[in-house]
Amino acid sequence: MMKTKRKNKSRSGLLIPLLIIVTTLVSLYLFVVFFAMPLYTRHWQRIRVPHVTNLSASAAEKIIGYANLEPIRNETKFDDTLPAGYVIFQNPLANTYVKKGRRIYLTFSKGMRPVVVPKLIGMNVRDARFTILQNQLRVGKISYDFDGYYPEEVVMDQAIQPDVEIFAGTALDITVSLGEEPTDIYIPNMYGKSLEEAEILIQKSQLTKGRVNYRESTQVEPNLVIYQSLEPGARAVPGDTVNIVISKIAGAERGEVAW
């Protein structure tokens, strides 16, 4: 009996210090996790990163500064959707949480990528349109004029000279030859022509563009000439005015317009 009591006393004497050690270690762990680490990392100062992409440089930097963060200009890249000086990317991303004073790296747009203007003079107008689009440019205004050197429907001039660098998406205006200036003028037949084709014929005949009316028609496709005020084939004087009527779909809201 004495030996059993001594053994129990010995075990309890070891168990109590062991429990104290375990309790101390657990308490220390909880202290580090829930108090010491947050204190070290300033956990309570977490800030949500604002969304600044698609904004100008000045606006983005102000918003980041107001959030107690530090904007850093990182790099610039060409971008076809945003003008130069606008934010196209941010790191860290918007709505993530960071510490107060964290650097927010911003990537800015350089604007559209530059492209080289192709040579269009001497091309027929259809090929010129295709070449403009193929070089990431837009077809601008197409003007027509008489020329004794370049045949009809051939580009005789372009607004921006070849080999010049411009931004992609820029509109490029061209002038197309109407051929040699006629000595005798006759009223052209515009029936069945589109508005654009009618305008070219009028200019080529040295007539004056008048007014355009739209009228419902079930016999002719929409957007074609169904009437002209001057008789086709009749002799004309330079400057004579011609008005036309264009077919339209029933119910379409298009009335009389000035050319």
> Does the pLDDT value for residue 258 go beyond 70?
no
Residues 249 and 220 in one domain: yes
CATH of the domain at 139: 3.30.10.20
Span 190-209, mean pLDDT?
93
Residues 201-214 pLDDT 10s: 999 899 999 999 99
Peptide bond into 92 cis (omega under 30): yes
Residues 85 and 55 in one domain: yes
Residues 100 and 70 in one domain: yes
The residue segments making up the domain with residue 99 are 44-111
Q: Which position has the higher pLDDT, 254 or 79?
A: 79
Residues 199 and 253 in one domain: yes
Residues 142 and 201 in one domain: no
Instruction: Count structural domains, the chain.
Output: 3
Residues 251 and 214 in one domain: yes
Residues 55 and 99 in one domain: yes
Does 182 reside within a domain?
no
- DSSP of 84-121: TTBEEEEESPTT-EE-TT-EEEEEEEEESPEEEPPP-T
Does 20 reside within a domain?
no
pLDDT at 8: 53
pLDDT at 41: 54
> Does the pLDDT value for residue 185 go beyond 60?
yes
Residues 121 and 95 in one domain: no
CATH of the domain at 225: 3.30.10
Does 10 reside within a domain?
no
Residues 123 and 173 in one domain: yes
Residues 34-65 pLDDT 10s: 666 655 555 556 899 999 999 999 999 999 99
Does 231 reside within a domain?
yes
Q: Which of 177, 209, 226 is the last residue of a domain?
A: 177
In Å, how far from its chain's centre is CA 20?
Answer: 69
Residues 75-134 pLDDT 10s: 999 998 899 999 999 999 999 999 999 999 999 999 888 999 999 999 999 999 999 999
Residues 171 and 199 in one domain: no
